[in-house]
């Protein structure tokens, strides 16, 4: 016997909600097939049940036990407690999918019954609207069908790519945290427009459509970003001055450092949870 179609989320925060919302909206599963296990925040559970009409389990232990896929969606610092609290209800016929930054599949495997399939993923909050960029890798017991099924789950909320586990920290620094870098950029562009005299609503509309248009240009033309940038940059024109100014402020270095240090932070989060940590 392999997996049931039920999903059980351990953790009811922003990432759990983003995935639940995306999976329901995209028809990957039905609200009645989803349970959420909480630590203490009953109001949050009631909110999710009200908002998404997800299942209301009689017992949290049962909800975990009956699921085919158990999704670990707690903060790294809460993982050990969550595994100690709920891990004993997880059995080897289930698939455990972690969305937790920094934590290795081997650490999770070590704290579950021997043989449980563990998949490590790194989605992002754009899951909420079906636009996540998710990378994933399998642990020791993950078979091709487990990776395929998890890819199908996450394809319902965006795109997926399989990577080696050694690359998961980089992925976390790039596309896990990435939406925040883009929002930061948008804040600055919008504010720049306001500083130069535009109304906030006009500045926002122009910024967002520029962002959207550039993303679609990259996706739909398949052209290299350097080529597309050069096409905007007329010799002696405005863009040239803008790009020079960004370069003088080490704009690209700043982004590369952001990804580098976010990756290191992901590694640090994980190093507190090495597989040798006591069971
Ligand atoms: N936010 C993001 O953009 C992304 C986050 N992630 C990863 O997703 C994970 C969750 O992040 P996020 O959703 O932002 O965090 P939140 O703090 O929003 O949610 C964490 C949830 O876990 C619950 N929780 C903690 N301990 C337990 C427990 N023992 N049993 C059941 N539930 C428990 C918390 O409940 P309570 O409120 O009671 O503490 C809370 O509902 C993190 O590991 C993060 O690395 C991955 C990709 C992107
Ligand atoms: O900031 C964090 O730690 C999480 C992981 C990736 C995005 N948010």
Distance CA(45)–CA(265), nearest Å, equals: 30
| Protein residue closest via CA to atom 39 of ligand 1 | 39
Contact in structure between 70 and 88 (CB atoms under 8 Å): no
39-69 burial code (b ≥16 CB/10 A, e <16): eeeeebbeebeeebebbebeebeebbbbbbb
Same fold: 7-168 with 178-265:
no
Q: pTM for the complete prediction?
A: 0.94
Please compute the mean of the pLDDT values over residues 222-235 and round it to a whole number.
97
CB of 125 shorter than 6 A to ligand 1: yes
SS3 content of the chain, % helix, strand, coil (to 5): 60, 10, 30
Known binding-site positions for NADP(+): 10-15, 73-76
| Separation between Cα atoms, residue 27 and residue 55, nearest integer Å | 16
Query: Rounded to an integer, what distance in angstroms lies between the CA atom of residue 124 and that of residue 178?
Result: 8
Q: For the ranges 46-60, 96-110, 208-222, which has the lowest average pLDDT? A: 46-60
DSSP state of 137: E
pLDDT value at residue 278: 43
Query: Is the pLDDT higher at 127 or at 273?
Result: 127
Residues 6+ apart with CB under 8 A from 92: 113, 114, 115, 116, 117
Tell how far the Cα of 43 is from the centroid of ligand 1, in angstroms.
15
Q: Which of the ligands is closest to the CA of residue 135?
A: 1
CA of 235 from ligand 2 middle (Å) equals: 40
Burial 217-245 (b: 16+ CB within 10 A, else e): eeeeeeeeeeeeeeeebeeeeeeeeeeee
Domain ranges of the chain: 7-168, 178-265
Mean pLDDT of the chain: 94
Q: Which of 62, 63, 65, 1 is nearest to 33 (CA)?
A: 63
Q: Looking at residue 57, what is its pLDDT?
A: 83
- CB-defined site of ligand 2, < 6 Å: 101, 172, 176-177
Ligand in nearest proximity to the CA of 101: 1
Residue 40's DSSP bridge partners are none
If you measure from the C-alpha of residue 201 to the centroid of ligand 1, how many angstroms do you get, rounded to a whole number?
A: 33
Write the pLDDT tens digit of every residue in 233-278.
999 999 999 999 999 999 999 999 999 999 999 999 998 876 654 4
The superfamily (CATH) of domain 7-168 is NAD(P)-binding Rossmann-like Domain (3.40.50.720)
Å from CA of 69 to ligand 2 middle: 22
Report the nearest atom of ligand 2 relative to the CA of 269: 3
Token code pair at residue 23: 């999976």
Whether pLDDT at 279 is above 50: no
| Closest ligand to residue 41's CA | 1
Q: State which of 8, 9, 10, 11 you would mutate to test the pocket of ligand 1, scoring each by most atoms of that ligand within 8 A of its C-beta.
A: 11
Give the distance (Å) from ligand 1 centre to CA of residue 224.
Answer: 36
Q: With the CA atoms of 38, 44, 50 and 51 taken in that order, what torsion angle do they form, in degrees rounded to the nearest 10? A: -100
pLDDT, position 275: 60
CATH 1.10.3730.10 correct for 178-265? yes
pLDDT at residue 55 in the model: 85
DSSP string, 27-56: TSS-GGGEEEE-SS-HHHHHHHHHHH----
CA dist., res. 243 & res. 260, Å (int): 23
Q: 171-216 pLDDT, tens per residue?
A: 999 999 999 999 999 999 999 999 999 999 999 999 999 999 999 9
Burial grade of 257 (CB within 10 A; 0-12, 13-18, 19 or more): exposed
pLDDT over 90 (residue 3): no
Tens of pLDDT, residue by residue over 13-23, are: 999 999 999 99
Which residues participate in the annotated binding site? 10-15, 73-76
């Amino acid at each position: 016997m392999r997996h049931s179609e039920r999903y059980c989320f351990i953790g009811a925060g922003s990432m759990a909600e983003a995935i639940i919302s995306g999976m329901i909206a995209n028809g990957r599963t039905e609200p009645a097939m989803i349970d959420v296990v909480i630590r203490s925040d009953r109001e949050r559970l009631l909110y999710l049940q009200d908002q998404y009409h997800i299942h209301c389990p009689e017992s949290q232990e049962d909800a975990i036990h009956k699921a085919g896929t158990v999704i670990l969606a707690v903060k790294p610092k809460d993982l050990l407690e969550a595994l100690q609290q709920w891990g004993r209800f997880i059995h080897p016929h289930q698939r455990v999918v972690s969305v937790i930054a920094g934590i290795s599949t081997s650490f999770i495997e070590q704290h579950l019954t021997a043989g449980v399939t563990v998949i490590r993923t790194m989605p992002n909050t754009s899951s909420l609207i079906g636009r996540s960029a998710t990378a994933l890798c399998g642990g020791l017991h993950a078979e091709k069908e487990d990776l395929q099924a998890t890819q199908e789950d996450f394809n319902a909320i965006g795109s997926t790519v399989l990577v080696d586990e050694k690359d998961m920290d980089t992925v976390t620094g790039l596309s896990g945290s990435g939406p925040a870098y883009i929002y930061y950029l948008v804040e600055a562009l919008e504010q720049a427009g306001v500083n130069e005299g535009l109304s906030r609503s006009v500045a926002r509309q122009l910024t967002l459509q520029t962002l959207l248009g550039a993303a679609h240009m990259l996706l739909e033309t398949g052209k290299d970003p350097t080529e597309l940038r050069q096409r905007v940059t007329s010799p002696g024109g405005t863009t040239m001055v803008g790009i020079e100014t960004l370069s003088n402020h080490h704009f690209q270095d700043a982004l590369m450092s952001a990804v580098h240090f976010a990756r290191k932070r992901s590694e640090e989060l994980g190093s507190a949870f090495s597989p040798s940590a006591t069971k």
